[in-house]
Structure 1
C-alpha cells in the first residue's frame, strides 16, 4: 500500500513521533512518503527507505505558511492508497486535495485548534475524513463532543529505538551536578518556561539549562531578561539529536522539568490543548528514572516515586525543584527503577492497522 504522511507543522520541531509512524508503516511493507513544512527545501530517501520531503516556509504560522503547505501538497501529486495527516491543521490546510481523492484518509488529531472559526471548520472537516486518531482517553472524549468519536487512541509514548537508548543508559554510571535542573524540548510559551525560570530564581537550584528549538527569538529574550540572583545561571542551548540529549540529561541533571500550563494560555481550546497534552518527554523521564517536576495532568500517570507534581505558580515550582533536588541528593544520583507500565509507540500504532484495511468512504 502506498501511504502519504502530510504535516503542516515542522516535524523537526514538533510531532517527531510522525517519523516513528513512518518507520512503523514501512516495516509493515508499505511504501511511505512524508511531506511537511520545514525550514529548508530538501528531498531525500532515508535509511529505512522512506521518501522525505521538506518544503521551506519563511513563516512559522499564518496564511503564508498555509499557502506553502497547500502548494506543496498540490505539487506532490500523490496517488496514495491512504493519506495520514498529522494534526487537524494539516487536514484543514490540505482540503480539498484529500477530500477529492480515492483512498483512506486518517487524521492524527494532535491539536485542539484555537477558538472561533478555525476550530469550527477544523472539527467539521474531521467528520468528513475516514478515521480520526487521538492521543489519550481524555482528548478522545472531548473530540467526541466537539467533532466525532475517534476511531483509535494512540499515546505518545517513546518508540522502541528511544526506549532502547534509555535502557542502555542505565548501564552507565551517573555523577550529576547536584544543583542543575535541565529541560529538553521545544522552548515555547505554552511549555510554561517563563514560570519555570521565575520559580528557579526562588529555588535552591543554581543552574537551569533549557535545550531545544525555540518558538521565537522574542521569547528567548524574555526568558533571559527575568532577574536572577547572582549565584544562579540560566543557559539556553540549541537543539541536539535525541540520543545526545538523553545522554546529557542522564549524565548531568540532578532533576528534570516537564511543564504544560493551561491556566495562563489564551483561548479556551488552547487551554484544553495543553491541559490534555501528551508530551513524549513525560514518558521518557519516567523511563530515565531521574526525579522531575511537572504539573498535574488528568491524562498522565501520577504518584510515582520521584515525580513531583506542583500547581501553576512560581512558589510551587520553586518548592517542587527543591524537593526534586533533595530527592536526588538522598539517592546520591541513583535513578529510580521504574518499569514504565506502558508499551512502546510501535505497539500503540498496531491499533491503526485495521483502519488501513477498512474501505474508504471518500467519493
Structure 2
C-alpha cells in the first residue's frame, strides 16, 4: 500500500470531499424511487487513487441507493499483503496471560452462539486526502461474541491489554532495523470485553469476502476501521500497553493544544470513531430539489445543512431503518435554488450536545495529521 502512514497531511480550512451513502427515507425518500428523478453530480470529485492495490472499492456516494452497503461495493484497505487463507487449515490462537490457551478453527467459532450487529465502519483517514473520500460502509456483521471466549481462556490478574494479530505481514523499518511483522492492533481488556465485539465470519448474510477479512475478523462497533482487525491469526493478552507500528508510530493524531498561552503538542493513538456527517448527493425531479446525506460516529440528535454560508437548516432524519451503531440518513428539501454554483455543508449534533467541528475549529485546524478527519464536509454543485 502507498505509505500513507508516514506522510503528513495538514487538514486546514480547505474544502473536504464528501462521502457516504444511505437508506430508504420515510417522509422524503433518500434515493430516487421513480423515473424522472436524477442525481446531480458534485463538481468536486475525488482525484485519482494512487494506490488501487491498497485502497479498493471506495464508495461512490451518488450511486448508492441502499442503507446496507453491498459486499462488492464495500471499501477495503490493506497495510501489508492481502493473504489467501484456506479455511480448512486455518485456526486462531488465544494466548498470552491466560490460564487456558485456546486454539479455535472456523467450525469451532461457528458452533458458538451467533450474534449480529449493523455497524458503519469508517477509516480514520477518510476525507484526509483528495483521493480518499469513500472509506466508509454500513454492513450487517455476524459472528460470535469475543468476551465469552476471553472469559473461557481465563485472563490473569495482570492482563490489561488485548492484542489482535492479523495474518497479513509486511517488512517494517525502524531506524536501521528491518523486521517482518504481522498487522497488529490492541485495546484495553475492558474495551475488548464489550459485549458488542464479535469474532466475525459473515457480512450481509454471506461469508466474509477475502478483501474484508475472510475467514474471521474483529468487529468492534464504535471504533475506527483500523481497530477492526482483518484476517485474524492470534489474540494475545499482555500486562503492558502494546506499542506497535499501527498503535504508537502510525495512526497517531498530532494536534496543537494551547495551555495558558503555551503550545503543547499532543499525540494520541486513533481509536474510537468521532461524530461526523456528510452530504451524499443532490437530487432533482422536475423543479424539486433535495439534499441527502448521512451522519454517524455518535448517537445523533439532529443534522443541519448550510447552503452558501446561509443560515443552518434542520433536516429530516429517516427512521425507517435504524441501528445503534449504523449511520442515520437525512434529507432536506431545497426550495427554489438559483441557477449557478452552490456549496452545501452539513453538521451533526449528538444527543450529548456535541457539534461536528467546522474546518476552522482548533480541533481540526490545529491537527497536523490526516487521521480522524471529522470536520464539516462541504460539497460544490451546479444548478
With structure 2 as the length reference, what TM-score do the two structures score? 0.25
Higher strand share: 2
Q: Which has the higher contact order (CA 8 A, sep 6+)?
A: 2
Structure 1-normalised TM-score?
0.26
